Every structure is written in C-alpha cells, then in structure tokens.
Amino acid sequence: MMSKPLPVSNLLPLTSYLNKMNKIKSFLKPLKTKRFWKVTALLSLWLLLVIIACNVQVSKETKNLLYTDIAEVPAHKVGLLLGTNPYLRSGAPNKYFLYRIDAAVALYKAGKIEYILVSGDNHRNDYNEPEEMKRALMNNGIPEERIILDYAGFRTLDSVVRAKEVFGYDTFIVISQRFHNERALFLAKHHDIQAIGFDAQDVTAYYGFKTRVREYLARTKLFVDLWFEVQPKFKK
C-alpha cells in the first residue's frame, strides 16, 4: 500500500528552515577565505593605531596645563568639578568621587578658587550627581553660596562647553583625575576656553582598569565629536 504524500502545509516549515540555513552558509562563506581574515587584521590594526594616536595627541596637547602641586596652581574665580557617581555598583564608595571632592576642597581652602561649579548627570529623578557632590562639599566646610550646580553635565563635553555658554565662564580650573582632566582640557582648548587642570588623587591600576579602557575609547570619540561639531544636549 502506497503512503500518501505529505501535505504542502507540512513541508513549509522544513523549506523555511532550509532557506535560513542556506542564508547562514552564504553569510559565513567569506569567513573561510584568507582574504577576509587579512582585511580584518588590517582594519583592526588601523583602528588600534587610530586609538593610540588620539590618546597620544590629547596627552601631548594638555601636558603643560596640568597641576598636581596646589601651591603652583594659578588662582581662578571658578573651579569646574566634574561629576561622577558617589557609589560603585556594589554599593561601595566611589574613590573617584571622594578624591575629586578632596581636590576641590583643597583648592578652595587654599584660596585658589572662589566658587565651585559642580557639573554632573541628573537624567533621572533618582540619580543626581550635582546634589551628591554639593552635599559632600558642604560636609567638608564649603559654604553653600559658593557652590554652583549644573544638572545637565551628561558628558564631559556638556560640562566644559556649558561652563562657558550657559554660566559665562571662559576661564576656570578643571578638577578631576589626570586622565579625565586631559580630555576636558583638550575640549576646552578647541572651544576657545582658557582652562587649566588640577589633578585629583588617582586610583590604583586594578581599581580603575575598566575606566581606563573606556577613556581610550572616549578620547577617540572626542575627535569624532569635534569633527562633527557636536554640541551639548542643552545649551540653556
């Protein structure tokens, strides 16, 4: 007795599966060629060189604008304190935050700045870097009337450019860790802002490994932003 042929409707899923497999094979076919891997290697090398070149250029252009000895820092009216989260994901205190607060307080008490412009992220109601930094500064003896808050410092670019365009300061001291100060000062220089940087204490290489990797990429993106003349999210 001959079996009945399968209905066409039963064959459709199988046909669809076979078509998908053929598409995957076609997509993966170039991966088997030496030319593909050679091109991939060359592109990866080129990208690595671009990243290194961007980082070297940023450090080179800003090395004479950075200070570590508070006695040598020229006095300015304003210090721009760059925001960060006061806590790590684990809930532990963020050393970057603590050291930046220490640096800002030291500058103020040494008479090097009269006001502290705190610029940070406040994109959610439950996340407010400027208020957290303000609280920490006041706990360290900084008068409230000497603290100015910028709630739209979403990125370093926003913080630096808004200090001039929104708050009217075209000269100031940037306060953060050295790697961050370098990028901020490079931005300032290319936006006609006369700024110097005071380096807050840095963290250990192990503690800051992920941040340093992100910084390499951030410096590369910095050149893209300058090329396309990217502006702060808010300029009011």
Residue 42 in domain: no
Q: Which two tokens stand for residue 202?
A: 């840095």
- Residue 203, domain member (yes or no): yes
Asked if pLDDT for residue 16 goes beyond 80, the answer is no
**Looking at the domain assignment, is residue 110 inside a domain?**
yes
- Whose tokens are 């000497």? That residue is 146
pLDDT at residue 184 tops 80: yes
Q: Would residue 135 count as lying in a domain?
A: yes
Specify if 4 maps to a domain.
no
Q: Which residue do the tokens 């490994």 mark?
A: 209
Would residue 15 count as lying in a domain? no
For residue 141, what are the domain limits?
A: 61-227
Indicate whether 17 belongs to any domain.
no
- pTM, 2 dp: 0.83
Torsion sign (Cα): 213, 215, 219, 220: positive
What is the rounded average pLDDT for all residues in the chain? 90
H helix or E strand, kind and range, residue 69: none
Higher pLDDT, 107 or 37: 107
d(CA 181, CA 158): 14
CATH number of the domain residue 77 falls in? 3.40.50.620
Measured CA to CA, the distance from residue 17 to residue 29 in angstroms comes to 18
- Residue, of 212 and 200, whose pLDDT is higher: 200
Q: DSSP state, 7?
A: P
**Each residue of 80-89: pLDDT tens digit?**
999 999 999 8
Q: Residue 153: which of 192, 184, 182, 177 has the closest Cα?
A: 184
Overall domain count for the chain? 1
